[in-house]
Structure 1
């Protein structure tokens, strides 16, 4: 299933970021995590792609999901 690159923009205190990470791990999917509280460039990239300052922002392939929107994530990943 891991055919799409997944980037997860997070902060250490974000509960929905933790839920997203747990969900991807349960699915056995690898992802790159960018802590935007420590990575200014990452924060700028996240804002440029999503228009959002809040986390999580999840990039799956060329699609962006704002927040932990499980149904949208599943749709992008092709999970029913």
Structure 2
């Protein structure tokens, strides 16, 4: 049995396709959540976070704090951290790529 967020189409004994069912999301929650990621080009965990957002169709705004000193200062003021990624989900701050916390905040089941 597949998890609730996956659907399966059966084309007979030898062919099955599973795909992600985006209707399983609480779309109202996603519409009202602004996601911002402060990152650097060489940050592996930043790349993982952005891939996670893309895989889950989460729109986000990105700021490169390696080249944008104003955004670096803003990130430090919001998080108290210099390390990246720093992710804002609405008014909540997530330091690092904390997948369970992001799933909770974004209501991803």
Q: Return the TM-score normalized by structure 1.
A: 0.96
Residue 27 of structure 1: aligned partner: 56
1:37 aligned to 2:99?
Answer: no
Give the Å deviation of 1:59.
0.3
From the CA coordinates, give the structure whose radius of gyration is larger.
2
Give the Å deviation of 1:12.
0.2
In structure 1, runs of 5+ residues without a counterpart are none
1:5-48 CA-partner distances (Å, limit 9, x unpaired): 00000000000000000000001111000000011110001000
Indicate the RMSD between aligned Cα atoms, in angstroms.
Answer: 0.8
Greater than 3 Å deviation, 4+ residue runs:
none
In structure 2, runs of 5+ residues without a counterpart are 1-26
Equivalent residue in structure 2 for 1:8, among 16, 20, 37: 37
Q: Return the TM-score normalized by structure 2.
A: 0.71
